[in-house]
């Protein structure tokens, strides 16, 4: 269906004048999309040197290389293309298919980057706990439940209609369920990380670089997730901004956080005997941290275990 969307004024959003609210929503979406793109562009430039040094030399088959490129450049491409698409959206001349495809791709991108970032964190916790089966089952169930909820959210949004400018839509109840599952997953990850950190420090090993890094990154990622959830509530319920605004910022934060998680792992000191490994790039997939052998942390290729 290639016909244009009807020029229908959306219902009032807390103001006696719906046209004023509509114009304000359009302005907010445009300003936030430009601001989010600026932040993402700056973040890409600030990590470009480390990316060239640690990511580009990786073999084509390395899982984390492609995961990094996805988290870094797909959201950037989506933000750039949005600047072109949004001009048609706010002019009221957007086609139905373009509107639907754009919104579905934005929502899907945010949900996918969220699952990708949590998978990176889960992999690190899995390595910290010496790849125990119960950790795999616990984290696998949590992430699978969140991914399933994300797909359901995408489907529910597909069934809804679109407004004339393709920027206004309600917050679905299933989105709140997805937020709760995300909070549960992130809370489980940070609790497990902190418990392992406590056990290691109690055993007298307080300066193991990989454990310090995993704890720091996990804590920052958790705080970021709390900030995103808090901002989502504030933007929709307090500020009165359209929910679409949060898609721009969430995609930006997921891109920055996920790519930096991989970069930080890539910059860990390499063990002896691997200096001449192809690319010289090592990520942690075997971090055997036990109270007896915590000093002998092994860093090896991530795909070694991802492929098993």
Can you list the residues of the chain whose pLDDT is less than 50? 1-19, 274-308
Whole-number pLDDT of residue 126 = 86
Tokens coding 48: 């470009």
| pLDDT value of position 244 | 74
Q: Which residues contact 54 (CB under 8 A, 6 or more apart)?
A: 263, 266, 267, 281
139, 125 contact by CB (below 8 A)? yes
What is the pLDDT, as a whole number, of residue 145?
92
* Opening angle at CA 32, ends 114 and 150, nearest 5: 25
pLDDT digits (tens, 9 = 90+) for 262-296: 998 888 765 555 443 433 333 443 343 333 333 33
> Quick one: pLDDT at residue 236?
63
- The predicted pLDDT at position 276 comes to 39
pLDDT for position 135: 92
Contacts 24+ apart (CB under 8 A), 167-173: 167/25, 167/26, 167/29, 167/86, 167/89, 167/90, 167/242, 167/244, 168/10, 168/22, 168/25, 168/242, 168/244, 169/103, 169/242, 169/243, 169/244, 170/243, 171/236, 171/243
Q: How far apart are CA 44 and CA 51, in angstroms?
A: 9
Tens digits of residue pLDDT in 47-64: 999 999 988 888 888 888
Q: Looking at residue 15, what is its pLDDT?
A: 45
Looking at residue 153, what is its pLDDT?
A: 82
The Cα 123–Cα 129 span in angstroms is 10
Contact 251, 109 (CB under 8 A): yes
Q: How many CB atoms lie within 10 A of CB 66?
A: 12
């Amino acid at each position: 269906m290639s016909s244009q969307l009807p020029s229908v004024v959306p219902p009032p959003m807390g103001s006696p004048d719906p046209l004023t609210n509509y114009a304000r929503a359009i302005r907010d979406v445009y300003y936030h999309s430009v601001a989010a793109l600026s932040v993402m562009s700056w973040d890409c430039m600030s990590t470009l040197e480390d990316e060239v040094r640690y990511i580009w030399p990786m073999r084509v088959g390395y899982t984390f290389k492609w995961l990094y490129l996805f988290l870094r450049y797909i959201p950037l491409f989506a933000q750039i293309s949005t600047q072109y698409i949004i001009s048609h959206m706010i002019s009221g001349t957007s086609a139905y298919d373009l509107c639907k495809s754009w919104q579905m791709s934005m929502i899907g991108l945010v949900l996918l980057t969220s699952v990708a970032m949590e998978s990176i964190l889960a992999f690190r916790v899995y390595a910290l706990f010496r790849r125990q089966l119960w950790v795999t089952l616990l984290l696998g169930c949590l992430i699978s439940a969140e991914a399933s909820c994300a797909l359901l959210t995408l489907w529910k949004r597909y069934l809804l209609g679109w407004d004339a400018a393709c920027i206004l839509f309600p917050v679905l109840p299933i989105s709140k369920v997805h937020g709760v599952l995300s909070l549960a997953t992130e809370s489980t990850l940070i609790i497990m990380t902190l418990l392992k950190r406590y056990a290691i420090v109690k055993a007298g090993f307080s300066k193991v670089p990989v454990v310090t890094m995993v704890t720091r990154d996990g804590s920052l990622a958790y705080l970021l997730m709390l900030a995103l959830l808090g901002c989502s509530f504030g933007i929709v319920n307090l500020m009165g901004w359209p929910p679409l605004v949060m898609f721009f910022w969430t995609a930006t934060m997921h891109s920055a956080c996920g790519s930096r998680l991989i970069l930080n792992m890539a910059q860990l000191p390499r063990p002896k005997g691997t200096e001449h490994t192809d690319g010289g790039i090592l990520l942690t997939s075997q971090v055997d941290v036990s109270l007896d052998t915590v000093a002998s942390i092994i860093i090896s290729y991530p795909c070694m275990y991802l492929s098993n």
